[in-house]
Amino acid sequence: MDEIENETVREETAAAAPEVAEHDRLQALEADLAEAKAAVLYAQAETQNVRRRLEKDAQDARAYAATGFARDMLSVADNLERALQAIPADLREDERFKGLVTGLEATGRELLAVFERNGISKVKALGEKLDPNRHQAMMEMPTADAEPGTIVQEMQSGYVIRDRLLRPALVGVAKAE
């Protein structure tokens, strides 16, 4: 009887073996498929990240392309401003120089308008608290008129292009007497 039972078990095992082998193969294929799907999703995510990074880089390049040129033009604006400040009041009123002064002032206004159209603006300094991200302290000045750390003198204007600093404002800061 034992021999008959063993034979029956062998026949059932042999009959089930193709099913077990097929089941194992199916599980292996499903695991491979899941791995391939994960790899595709990862590749798609990486591609999307690269695309976003490139779009941001291109957008920044467009927004800040004029940075070098703008820095060069700041010295022109500074010199024009110094020239206008150097003109004495009596020469401003002299009829012979009025046209020249008016032309220089108009040129200064036009230069500032061009800066504004290109996202370049002056950094506010006088009366502000010192911000090391926008101002560069050149000296401290004892004064009772302003709270310590407040900007009381601007030696050179600072500028930003959109949200980036082109040049810090060179300033004098109040300190306690």
Q: How far apart are CA 91 and CA 106, in angstroms?
A: 17
Report the 3 state secondary structure along the chain.
CHHHHHHHHHHHHHHHHHHHHHHHHHHHHHHHHHHHHHHHHHHHHHHHHHHHHHHHHHHHHHHHCCHHHHHHHHHHHHHHHHHHHHCCHHHHHCHHHHHHHHHHHHHHHHHHHHHHHCCEEECCCCCCECCCCCEEEEEEEECCCCCCCEEEEEEECCEEECCEEEECEEEEEEECC
Tell me how long the chain is. Answer: 177
Q: In the prediction, which pLDDT does 10 show?
A: 54
Contact 137, 174 (CB under 8 A): no
Task: Show the tokens assigned to 70.
Answer: 């703008």
Closest by CA to 156, choosing from 70, 75, 71, is 75
Rounded average pLDDT per 10-residue block, the chain, 177 residues: 60 59 88 94 94 90 82 92 91 88 94 92 93 95 89 94 93 91
Is the pTM of the predicted complex or chain greater than 0.95? no
pLDDT score at 159:
95
Report the pLDDT value the prediction gives residue 4, as an integer from 0 to 100.
Answer: 66
Structure tokens, 84: 């206008």
The backbone torsions φ and ψ at residue 167, rounded to the nearest 5 degrees and listed phi first, read -155, 135
Instruction: Tokens for 82, please give them.
Output: 């110094």
In this prediction, residue 12 carries a pLDDT of 57
N-terminal to C-terminal alpha carbon distance within the chain: 115
pLDDT the model gives residue 13: 53
Reading the block at residue 33, the tokens are 């498929």
Q: What is the pLDDT of residue 78?
A: 93
